[in-house]
Amino acid sequence: MSSFVRVVRRWPNAGFGSYLLTTIDTVAAIFEADLIPVVNYRHRKSMQLYRTYEGENVWDTFFHQQHSVAEAVECPELTVDFGKRQKVPCLTYYEARSTFQSFVQPRETVDHFATQRMNYRIGQGVEYDCIYFRGTDKKKERRLVPFERYDSILDATNGPLVAQTDQQSFVDYVKKRKPDVIIFPELRYSATESPLHQDSSPGFRKGLEAWTVVRILAGARRLYASRSNITTVANLMRKNPAEHLN
């Protein structure tokens, strides 16, 4: 049997953060078995929202891999599957952080895009605080954080403050209370319950934007955030985890 095992997931409507977290979860399981993971997201339903062309291994588009899919074999018992993975103990924060930082290596073009956007919007080397609100369809999973929970942060922050969200009404609320807040992304927000990752923007562009959001959250001096897959990913890159607002 090959020592290389393919990581497979075929959930067409899952977002960028969801794919990163379940990939890391499966990669950790493969490492535990003393095997070598190779991510194979070529199937048309794999990271479908971030796909550019048919047959593309979308993971390879955004992240480096040391080995090719051709070297690996399918291993059904280790194929990404929430039910199967949940039969073993969950990863601790430090286990997940270690796996993430050793395995997730963004391609230079992807990380360069994020760095350029951060330098342009925030300033090179500038320290900043960040607030994050995940709205739209998230309310189907959990109670959304009331906007008012951010008031004391908006009022107390000295220095640059970045606000990140997918919801237009949160942008309006924040800008009314703190006009000089830096908003990211700059252009796309949802006025409905439809999340941004399911809109009609080009897949690669959506992936670049998602990675930039992660980088901004991860790089903030202090991060105050509603819970989401993206904030969980950012916490795996941070020295001090976010303060989650409930």
CATH of the domain at 217: 3.40.50.11350
Computed over every residue of the chain, the mean pLDDT equals 85
> Domain tally for the chain?
2
Does the pLDDT of residue 80 top 50, yes or no?
Answer: no
Answer whether 106's CB lies under 8 Å from 218's CB. Answer: no
Tens digits of residue pLDDT in 24-62: 988 888 888 888 899 999 999 999 999 999 989 999 999
Whole-number Å distance between alpha carbons of 218 and 195: 21
Helix intervals (H) in 14-150: 16-32, 58-62, 82-85, 93-103, 108-121
Residues 6+ apart with CB under 8 A from 119: none
Residues 6+ apart with CB under 8 A from 80: 7, 8, 9, 22, 23, 25, 26
Does the pLDDT of residue 81 top 50, yes or no?
Answer: no
Answer whether 199's CB lies under 8 Å from 176's CB. Answer: no
Q: Are residues 144 and 67 in the same domain?
A: no
Q: Are residues 165 and 239 in the same domain?
A: yes
Q: Are residues 14 and 70 in the same domain?
A: yes
Does the pLDDT of residue 77 top 60, yes or no?
Answer: no
Instruction: Write down the pTM of the prediction.
Output: 0.87
Q: Are residues 78 and 159 in the same domain?
A: no
Does the pLDDT of residue 232 top 70, yes or no?
Answer: yes
Q: What is the pLDDT of residue 8?
A: 82
DSSP state of 190: B
Tens digits of residue pLDDT in 119-177: 999 999 999 999 999 887 666 667 788 999 999 999 988 899 999 988 888 999 999 99
